[in-house]
Structure formats: C-alpha cells, structure tokens
Structure 1
Amino acid sequence: MFPVGDRDLGRFLHEMGEDTSVTRKIEKIWLRQWFSCLISDLAYIHTKGVRHQDIKPSNIVHRGDLIFFTDFNSAAQCEPGCTTSTENPARKSAMYSAPEVLDRLRDDHSLTRHGTGTDIFSLGCAFYRYATCNRRSLCRLS
C-alpha cells in the first residue's frame, strides 16, 4: 500500500513527549506545517466531491516531512456542497465525529443531514488533540 508511512499522527503525538532533541524540534516544525497541508488536502478532496467520513489521528500518516490522509474505506462520493443522510453511517470514531453524525435521528425520527463540514469538524478535533495535549513542550509551540 502506498504511501507507507513512518507513523500515524496519533503515535507521532504520543512519541514526541518531552524529548528536546534536534530531531524532535524538526518534527515540531513539521507538525505546524502539516496543519495547513491537511486543510488544503481536505479542501481539495471536497472540491472533487469526496467526503472522507473518518478523519482521526490514526488515519493520518507521515513519511518524513510529508503528510497524508489514509483509510478512505468510509469515504463517500457526493456533489460538492451537498448534504446527505443515511440509516447506516460509516463506522466512525465518536471522539472525532461531528454531533450531527452521532445524533443522526431527530426527535421526529427523521435522519439528520450532514455534508463536508463533518470532515472539517473531525480534522478540527485532531488539531484540538494536539493543541491541548498534556505535554508541556508541545503546548508551548506558537
């Protein structure tokens, strides 16, 4: 499977810890650059009418300083800007899912509709995990 990554983002964040070596400092710079890359990548796949639907740190891998979304098994094709609903949503990680995906049934038993914004919410949750980590050296990044 290409690309074979060095680590997923979840493991990357876990391993950074309090290490202050030159390598770790370089990786912290990568991490800041990856945010803009991931946002651009997500915008691109959305313009192509694809929703990832399962964005989380373990589905983002890096190889050196390059970053990639992986695991498009849950992805769905849709018209750009569309919203959809489904009775059987893709398997999602609740920690990174938008509220409208988790609470898909309304009080009137109709299904909630959601669009590409749910991917943006999930990516924001991954960024939030980084920003609020309990490791001081990571949280001091500006």
Structure 2
Amino acid sequence: MEKYCIEAILGEGGFGRVFSARERGQEGQRRAIKEVHLDPLAAREAEFMGLFDHCNILPLIETLVEPPHLYLVLPLCEEDLGTFLARKGPRRGPSSFFRVVRQIAVGLAECHRHGVVHRDLKPGNVLRRGARFMLADFGVAEQITPCRPLLTELAGTPVYWSPEQHRREPYNTAVDLWALGLVAMDVATGRP
C-alpha cells in the first residue's frame, strides 16, 4: 500500500472497508480502495472484476496483496444509486428513468454474457461517476457454467431476492433480472 496515501474511510461493513486514497507521485490520482480479508471469496471477487472491460461495470485498476488483506483499487465514484436518489429524487421522466436503468441493464447483460450472476443487485451496489452508472461489489457473485447451469446458495440482500430464491429453488441469471426490476422501481419512486 506504499503506492497510496489513505485519506478517509468511505464505508465499512461485514465485507471490510473502503477508503478514499491518493496515488503517491506527481499525478496523485484519487482512488477508492476496498480492503477485504484475503480468502478465496475475495480472490474470486477480484477475478470476476478482472473479467470485465465495460463502461457500466466498475473497473478493477489493480489488486494489492498484503496478508492478511487483499486490496482492490478502484476508480473513486461520487456516490451510490441510493444516495443519488435520496439527494436528487426519483427519475420519473422517461428519458431520465431510461438513462439510469438502461446503464444498469447493459452492465448486467455483460455480466451474464460471461456467465456471472451478480446476486446482490441493489441501489447500494450501483455507483455513479459523472453521468455514468456502474455495477459494483461482486463479493457474492457466482459463475454458472455448462456443467453447473443452476445455483442453489442463498446470497445477497433478501429484499431484492427473486421468488425462486425465497422458495430455496435452484436459480440462474434470471434472479438478477428480478432484482433489476426492483431497482427500476426504486429509480422511479426514489424509495428503496
């Protein structure tokens, strides 16, 4: 972590902590650094984020390993979708609604193209940078394959679970589409 100067804690939870930081040197670019415990789940999150090169998925700039932690270096964003909606209100106009929801849907389609089920799509996991909305936090994401086309483990935020998750039935990428519908309702009403 010698490469970065930590400025402040942006968030803290069961996953770990997120800091704002400045890169040392002349440029001094600001970044977000997610600190998680070094374990297979953290490594998988970094692996999934490394799969994507898409404008609606938060890019992974680099990973740093300093046991017992793994650090994911990410672009610093202004806020999450929930904070944006609380500050700006619902996106009731067709063009403003479509502009937000379309970006989330396009990012989700890219995940699904790679067989990745996000499993925790919610306003807090959609970040805004300028006019761009990006999927973030792949901590509970999982990949489906031809050998394993359905998932059974419960993960994510229960209020955004699909009916099959609540019934404890096997599921696939469709659970993310259910969550997208709920997020779209949040965007339209301004209330999660």
TM-score, normalised on structure 1? 0.72
SS at match of 1:61: strand
Partners in 2 of 1:12 and 1:74 — Cα distance? 24
Determine whether 1:3 maps to 2:75. yes
Determine whether 1:82 maps to 2:149. yes
Partners in 2 of 1:103 and 1:3 — Cα distance? 37
Determine whether 1:41 maps to 2:107. yes
User: Could you list the runs of 5+ residues in structure 2 that have no partner in the other structure?
Assistant: 1-72
* Residues 5 and 63, structure 1, Cα contact 8 Å, conserved in 2: yes
SS at match of 2:107: helix
| Structure 1 match to 2:181 | 124
| Structure 2 match to 1:55 | 121
Partners in 1 of 2:188 and 2:100 — Cα distance? 14
User: Could you list the runs of 5+ residues in structure 1 that have no partner in the other structure?
Assistant: 19-23, 105-111, 135-142
Partners in 1 of 2:109 and 2:119 — Cα distance? 14
**TM-superposed deviation, 1:132:** 2.8
* Residues 77 and 128, structure 2, Cα contact 8 Å, conserved in 1: yes
* Residues 101 and 187, structure 2, Cα contact 8 Å, conserved in 1: no
Q: Which amino acid aligns with 1:113?
A: P
Q: Which amino acid aligns with 2:159?
A: M
- Deviation per CA, 1:62-87: give whole Å up to 9, x if none: 1001111111000001127922223x
**TM-superposed deviation, 1:30:** 5.6
Determine whether 1:13 maps to 2:77. no
Number of equivalences: 116
Relative contact order, higher structure (CA 8 A, sep 6+) = 1
**TM-superposed deviation, 1:123:** 1.2
- Deviation per CA, 1:91-111: give whole Å up to 9, x if none: x2122111211221xxxxxxx
| Structure 1 match to 2:23 | none
Determine whether 1:66 maps to 2:127. no
Partners in 2 of 1:120 and 1:84 — Cα distance? 15
Q: Percent identity?
A: 31
CA RMSD of aligned residues (A): 2.4
Partners in 2 of 1:117 and 1:3 — Cα distance? 29
Q: Which amino acid aligns with 1:13?
A: L
Q: Which amino acid aligns with 2:136?
A: T
| Structure 2 match to 1:94 | 158
| Structure 1 match to 2:171 | 114
| Structure 1 match to 2:62 | none
More helix by share: 1
* Residues 30 and 65, structure 1, Cα contact 8 Å, conserved in 2: no
